[in-house]
Amino acid sequence: MERIRLPGVVWRELRIPNLVIAAAFVSTLLAGPADAATPIKILVLGDSLASGWGLPVDQAFPTRLEAKLRARGHAVRLVNAGVAGDTSAGGKARLDWAMTERPGIVIVELGANDSLRGLDPNATRANLDDILTRLKSRGVRILLAGMKAPPNLGEEYGGEFNAVFPELANRHNVALYPFFLDGVAAQSGFNQPDGIHPNARGVAVIVDRILPYVVRLLKSSE
């Protein structure tokens, strides 16, 4: 008798004439249920707010969002393309590299570092406009996460910067989550000691508030 071994299978001795049947049985075991849904990849293109700066990997925004979506029965896989310190220009520069993951949905979370550095809102607008244009050309669904300028930069700057996100969402006809840090910004209990980056509790708030927007994009593909 010939004995064949593959990992993860309970083995019995199989006679050579039965190998074809046995192979088919093993393939079924390894493949899993025939009706298992193929996960939709959701790419989070962002900065340290997306990458999970200062947090364990399992507490980062993409990981927590994936867990929440899966708990609701959505077959998804989140791809964390957050880079700490990235500006809209940085996101624009690495977009093609990030898109090698071939996501079906992209959450664009950029702009926080632009405002913290007081960069020209027109430059932020141009960078995000280019990102959205290129994403639309690939046929992916998009959720643009808005950002707001810190109050200390003044009303004029804040007004110009804050207007960038709804303006671009309208121009490109993409979904907009008005403010990524809604319910978390300036709330000491939801932020790390630096007062900028959300702690685990803050990430939970962000996930809960942005979740309906992501679910709508998922349902639009069904």
Residues carrying an active site annotation: 48, 194, 197
What is d(CA 77, CA 95) in angstroms, rounded to the nearest whole number? 19
What is the token pair recorded at 92? 């624009």
Straight-line distance from the first to the last Cα atom of the chain, in angstroms, rounded to the nearest whole number: 50
Backbone conformation region of residue 102, classed left if phi is above 0, alpha if psi is from -120 to 50, else beta: left
What is the token pair recorded at 42? 């959701």
Q: What is the DSSP string of 28-42?
A: HHHH--TTPPPPEEE
CA dihedral over 6, 11, 15, 17, signed as positive or negative? negative
What is the token pair recorded at 136? 């639309």
Contact 183, 190 (CB under 8 A): yes
Which candidate, 112, 111, 118, places its Cα nearest to that of 157? 118
Q: What is the four-CA torsion angle of 27, 33, 37, 39, rounded to 10 degrees? A: -60
